[in-house]
Chains A and B, each alone.
Chain A
Amino acid sequence: MNLSLLLLLPLMTALAILCCKGLQQVRAIAFTGAVLQLILAFVLLVLFWRARAAGDGDPMLFKSGYVWFASFNINYHVGVDGISVSMILLTAFVVLAGILVSWHTDTMSKEFFFLLVFLSAGAYGFFISLDLFMLFFFLELAVIPKFLLIGIWGSGKKEYSAMKLALMLMAGSALVFTGLMGLYFNTTATARGAHSFDLLQIARMNIPLQAQLLFFPFVFGGFGIFSALFPFHTWVPDGHSAAPTAASMFLAGISMKLGGYGCLRVATYLMPEAARVYAPVIILLATIAIIYGAFATMMQQDLKYINAYSSVSHCGFVLLGIGMLTKTSITGAVMQMVSHGLMTALFFAAIGMLYSRTHTRMVDKLGGLLKIMPFISTVFVLAGLCSLGLPGLSGFVAEMTVFMGAWQNPDKWYRFSTILACASIVVTAVYILRAVGQTVMGPVTDAGYKNLTDARWNERLAAALLLFGIIAIGVAPFWLNKLVSPGAEIIIQQAAKTVTLK
């Protein structure tokens, strides 16, 4: 399959959106585009399975490449492995759901849907890139649409949050940039005399240890800012809470995954020795993020802040899994990314639906909504249960895998932090149950709520889509596991290979 389709389709959709008039047309085009994206992602999955089943053991499938800037040896080079495929599927799910929940965006709808679709093009491009320049290009591509989405359609402290998000993400990519420069100039020169930006080529070379030690913090830290690495997580709560629903879903569901994917694919895969050296720091920061995020969530009253801080905590699991450097833990990290992406998108969607009806997101003002809006409330409860790791839903599977993988690492301090991370689930349970309980159970707090209506078809469809993903992973985790673990295996082999070489 030609992977460039994944890039072309959203871009075509975006262009088509520019050419049409009125909310009706715009959303119809955006919806069609998103459905096609989802179909394309499923086709990719099937083809990927088939190729793997036919015994194609190449780490990256469906590769294709063109020379872009010959003098710098920059290529347009794409390819996917199981990890990328799962990320692409996640993106397709969240994009479609995001478009469905913003069905009635009537202020500047054209710009809104254009930016959403454009953002998705950036995410696909990022996940299929095998060239560091391309990867960086798509990483930065997504910053400005987010700024505009939050700034224009957001609520609350939107200008402040949008600016904070844009600057912090830009700072992240500036760090990544320095790291990439370091990597580039430490690759052995190719035949034409230029260095290499190619992921697969660099993985085969041995970057000198000293260079790895110098540049790993840049790359990991830079991508870490994207995935809410403590102490650079501060953009997450503000950004998520100020963003419009669909943008929150994108931010938490996809954008933060760019960071995790980058940490894995660029930092750990290309600089495995440094990853080992810095593992204690990563694990420490991840553990702090998990625990701090969980406790910070306890103190929140605003539903969006609750989900945003819990995202910090949940993304901590991703980084923890990466830091532990075992096959299972990395598989777990990727599963957690997928699971968290779906779950948090669902959560934000539910919050958006509640907010659009009740016009408040404060936990203490809401109550008894289950009787009035059974569907939305059920979705809300399910998202919460997934967040706290109820078996049968994706959160449980993913967190469990991370913990099992983490435990495989015999270092006793690592185990200690694993125990701490496990313990945070209790805190998660407290805040989730409290928030969910107060909002949907109990007496109806406001008489005005009695007249509110339940979810419309578009909201039901969006929720069903995301729930389908969550339950599918929860019930049959081995599918995702089988998809992801060969990719994780390669990353681990990379780490093992260089260790034996030295």
Chain B
Amino acid sequence: MTQQFFLLAKQELTLTLIIFILLFLKVGAKEWTNAAVLRLMNILLLLNFIAGFIFTREGMLFNEMFFTGKLVITEKNILNLGTLIVSLQAYDWLRLHKHVIEFYILLLSTLLGMFFMISSGNILMFYLGLELASIPLAAMANFDLTRRQSSEGAMKFIISSAFSSGLLLFGISMLYGTTGTLLFSELPQHLDGSPLQLFALVLLVAGFAFKISVVPFHLWTADVYEGSPVTVSAYLSVISKGAAVFVFVSVLYTVFKSLAAVWYTILFVLSTITMFTGNLFALRQSNIKRLLAFSSIAQAGFILVGISGSSRAGMASVVYFILVYIFSNLGAFGVVSVVSALTGKENTEDYKGFYKTNPFLAWVMAISLFSLAGVPPAAGFFGKFFLLIAGAEKGNYVLITIAALNMIISLYYYLTLVKMMFIDRNEHEPIASLRVHIYPKIALLACMAGIILFGLISNVYEYIYSVSFW
């Protein structure tokens, strides 16, 4: 039993261990320099990522409260990888920050929450995980301690997150009221499609929609991304969103499988308005973080198209897309993060003539943007293509045409950014040639490798497909 506990909850325990190490560092007598902490953390996170691949077991703990399986482990590995990349990219920003250790404690707490959320077999356990994942995030959003915008973003985030939790809890209570159980495994048998249960489903979907910033629950996204430090925006847009998507798919595909016809319609409407809103708003943004925020809203719309496929391919394509999205979005955010930390510039106009001074960063940015836009040979192309194949299986070609149309709109603003970097001249002061530190560089190169290889090499997708289910 004990042995099994250690093996099954291995990934959570590793994280907890790292959090404890950080706490000891903080309270210990020895004063650690930022560089040392960062080096240690990056190594620990790397070990944590690698540890995810060994001793993988499937099973349940605590009376089905906690379960793990191949898919769950894969999802956690994806999140671990993303967190590692985020941490590497944060180097330039955190090096001069006063509270590095606290930042990492908060970061890993949210990750731990996400792990519990993904592994939960009980809807209350899921809720606990969600809260553990959300509340530290608000503190992280406030981590640019001197900027008021940062506090504003944190405030907006905590309020909207509390609101969405309220919706979720309301939905959960109705679900419990009508079915009398909280276990994911028992819920499906008790679902009969009564109006109250449908209402509960709508509330749950709304709660999730907040987390993955789906229109009309997206209003917090742009402001929070803009206000937060770049690292936190990146974390919010890929890791936090990715974890919510993982749980959303599993919940819809297992618990609410019998109501598929109902949530298909909901997803159809939500994905359509999300793609259009995200893309059309992104067209007019001048702050690069807001631009990426709206682009991430639009990407959420594409993810919903994949989820609406309700098939094994649907789940596989969504998980795969999140993996690809981590590389693409973190590639873009990584460049923004380096530029922002070293020069403080965050407007799209500042990127004019970027290629002349920083060819490496400009190429990384361009390739990431191409991947986000879904242009081959980047992995984003495969991700989008598979999402849309999965979505097309239902025979709803209207949705596919809308999605394809949106890819054109999104290409416009991605290409505008590419045009600014490569073609335009900067009359004011271009970003000077930046010396990229080795950690962010490794992270960016990892993103590039992921973007180029994970699409062309099919094994990654095929593995995810083999562990997916419907």
Of all chain B residues, the one with the shortest Cβ separation from A181 is B392
Tell me if B370 is interfacial: C-beta within 8 Å of chain A: yes
Binds A, one of B16-24, B120-128, B458-466: B458-466
Of all chain B residues, the one with the shortest Cβ separation from A67 is B458
Looking at B313, B389, B418, which has the most chain A CB atoms within 10 Å of its CB?
Answer: B389
Of all chain A residues, the one with the shortest Cβ separation from B391 is A181
Tell me if A71 is interfacial: C-beta within 8 Å of chain B: yes
Tell me if A162 is interfacial: C-beta within 8 Å of chain B: yes
The listed residue (B385, B407, B408, B423) touching A159 by CB distance below 8 A is B423
- Per the 8 Å Cβ criterion, residues 437-463 of B in contact with A are 458, 461-462
Give the complex CA separation of A166 and B423 in angstroms: 15
Beta-carbon contact of A163 and B407 below 8 Å:
no
Tell me if B163 is interfacial: C-beta within 8 Å of chain A: no
Binds B, one of A135-143, A253-261, A349-357, A455-463: A135-143
The listed residue (B381, B386, B397, B411) touching A72 by CB distance below 8 A is B386
Beta-carbon contact of A68 and B458 below 8 Å:
yes
Contact pattern, B 412-426, Cβ under 8 Å of A = 1, otherwise 0 = 100110110011100
Give the complex CA separation of A182 and B375 in angstroms: 21
Tell me if B349 is interfacial: C-beta within 8 Å of chain A: no
The listed residue (A70, A162, A167, A171) touching B462 by CB distance below 8 A is A70
Known: A167-B412, A171-B408, A174-B408. A185 touches B393 (CB 8 A): yes
Chain B residues within 8 Å of A61, by CB: none
Tell me if A175 is interfacial: C-beta within 8 Å of chain B: yes
Chain A residues within 8 Å of B316, by CB: 71
For the complex formed, measure the closest distance between the CB of B182 and the CB atoms of chain A, giving whole angstroms: 34
Beta-carbon contact of A137 and B381 below 8 Å:
yes
Give the complex CA separation of A147 and B419 in angstroms: 9
Known: A69-B461, A141-B376, A185-B392. A178 touches B397 (CB 8 A): yes
Beta-carbon contact of B423 and A170 below 8 Å:
no
Binds A, one of B31-39, B234-242, B277-285, B398-406: B398-406
Tell me if A230 is interfacial: C-beta within 8 Å of chain B: no
Name the interface size band of chain A: 35 or more
- Prevailing SS type, chain B contact patch: helix
Known: A137-B377, A174-B404, A174-B408. A181 touches B397 (CB 8 A): yes
Chain A residues within 8 Å of B422, by CB: 148, 151-152
Give the complex CA separation of A310 and B377 in angstroms: 33
Chain B residues within 8 Å of A174, by CB: 401, 404-405, 407-408
Chain B residues within 8 Å of A69, by CB: 386, 458, 461-462
Name the interface size band of chain B: 35 or more
Of all chain A residues, the one with the shortest Cβ separation from B465 is A71
Give the complex CA separation of A177 and B118 in angstroms: 34
Of all chain B residues, the one with the shortest Cβ separation from A151 is B423
Beta-carbon contact of B408 and A143 below 8 Å:
no
Give the complex CA separation of A171 and B409 in angstroms: 9
Contact pattern, A 182-223, Cβ under 8 Å of B = 1, otherwise 0 = 101100000000000000000000000000001000000000
Beta-carbon contact of B377 and A141 below 8 Å:
yes
Beta-carbon contact of A151 and B419 below 8 Å:
yes
Tell me if B395 is interfacial: C-beta within 8 Å of chain A: yes
Tell me if B388 is interfacial: C-beta within 8 Å of chain A: yes
Give the complex CA separation of A396 and B405 in angstroms: 40
Chain B residues within 8 Å of A140, by CB: 375-376, 381
Give the complex CA separation of A214 and B396 in angstroms: 13
Chain A residues within 8 Å of B458, by CB: 67-70, 74
For the complex formed, measure the closest distance between the CB of B468 and the CB atoms of chain A, giving whole angstroms: 9
Beta-carbon contact of A185 and B395 below 8 Å:
yes
The listed residue (B370, B389, B462) touching A181 by CB distance below 8 A is B389
Tell me if A144 is interfacial: C-beta within 8 Å of chain B: yes
Give the complex CA separation of A68 and B377 in angstroms: 14
Chain B residues within 8 Å of A71, by CB: 312-313, 316, 461-462, 465
| 16 interchain pairs, CB-CB under 8 A | A69-B386, A69-B461, A71-B312, A71-B316, A71-B465, A133-B385, A137-B377, A140-B375, A143-B375, A158-B423, A159-B424, A163-B412, A167-B408, A167-B412, A174-B404, A177-B388
Given pairs A151-B423, A171-B408, 7 additional interface contacts (CB within 8 A): A71-B313, A74-B458, A141-B375, A141-B376, A148-B422, A163-B415, A178-B397
Binding site for B on A (CB under 8 A): 67-72, 74, 133, 137-138, 140-141, 143-144, 147-148, 151-152, 158-159, 162-163, 166-167, 170-171, 174-175, 177-178, 181-182, 184-185, 214
